[in-house]
Amino acid sequence: MGCMKQQIKQKIILVISSSLLASCATAERESRMPRDLTESGSDCISIRTIRDYTPLDRSRLLIEGGGKRLYYVTLVLSSFQLRSSHQIGVDSRDAWLCPYGGDRLVFSTFGDASAGIRGITRITPEQAEDLLYRYGKKERPELQDPVPPELDGAEVEELGEVG
């Protein structure tokens, strides 16, 4: 009887600990996310206009489209290949990359590593810059103390001997 109570107590502690750990992980993800962005945006990108991409982590990236349009893209599942691939491909049923309709990003030449898209959100250059800072892809400029201006101050005048 005492052994059974001990096992139940351990299971309850395990459940509480795991739920606390899960909530901490969610809180960290939300703290990295700017307040004005969403993980589940519904914008689309014309595939032929994609110029460049920057992986932020294993499930988020920035894509630069035509006209210097920037997009924040989140994947359904994280992918180790996202950060290590030198190029990405697109698996889509039409000319648009969208977070619906089964569109996927492909990370390997043979097409065996791919990930579905959770959301695409068009962002401003300022938001992209903020994301690059948040994910450590770019260093923030050091805040330097301003150099004091040179003043045309009082000059030292030698006095003759008193005496």
**pLDDT at site 26:** 46
Rounded CA-CA distance 150/49 in Å is 52
- Please report, for residues 13, 68, 82, 132, the alpha-carbon distance to residue 29 in angstroms, rounded to integers and kept in the order given: 25, 27, 18, 15
Whether pTM > 0.75 for this model: the answer is no
8 A C-beta contact, residue 26 and residue 43: no
pLDDT at 86: 82
pLDDT in tens, 24-54: 444 444 445 555 677 788 999 999 999 999 9
Q: How many domains does the chain have?
A: 1
The residue range of the domain holding 51 is: 34-134
**Minimum mean pLDDT among 3-7, 10-14, 23-27, 63-67: which range?**
23-27
Least confident span in 63-77, 101-115, 121-135? 101-115
* Residue 20 resides in a domain: no
Task: Name the DSSP class of 67.
Answer: G
Query: Which ranges constitute the DSSP H helices of 33-153?
Result: 80-84, 125-134
Residue 119 has what pLDDT? Answer: 95
pLDDT per residue over 150-160, tens digit each? 766 666 667 77
User: What span, in angstroms and rounded, lies between the C-alpha atoms of 14 and 32?
Assistant: 27
- Average pLDDT of the residues of the chain: 79
**Residue 88: phi, psi to the nearest 5?**
-125, 155
pLDDT in tens, 50-70: 999 999 999 999 999 989 999
In a domain, 118, yes or no: yes
In a domain, 123, yes or no: yes
Kindly state the greatest CA–CA separation across the chain: 108
- For residue 5, being part of any structural domain is answered with no
Two tokens, residue 122? 């068009």
Count other C-beta atoms under 10 Å from residue 124's C-beta.
Answer: 11
Query: Where is 56: in which H helix or E strand?
Result: none
| 11 inside domain | no
* Residue 104 forms part of a structural domain: yes
The verdict on residue 122 lying in a domain is yes
**Domain assignment of residue 111, yes or no:** yes
Question: What is the rounded distance in angstroms from the CA atom of residue 44 to the CA atom of residue 162?
Answer: 88
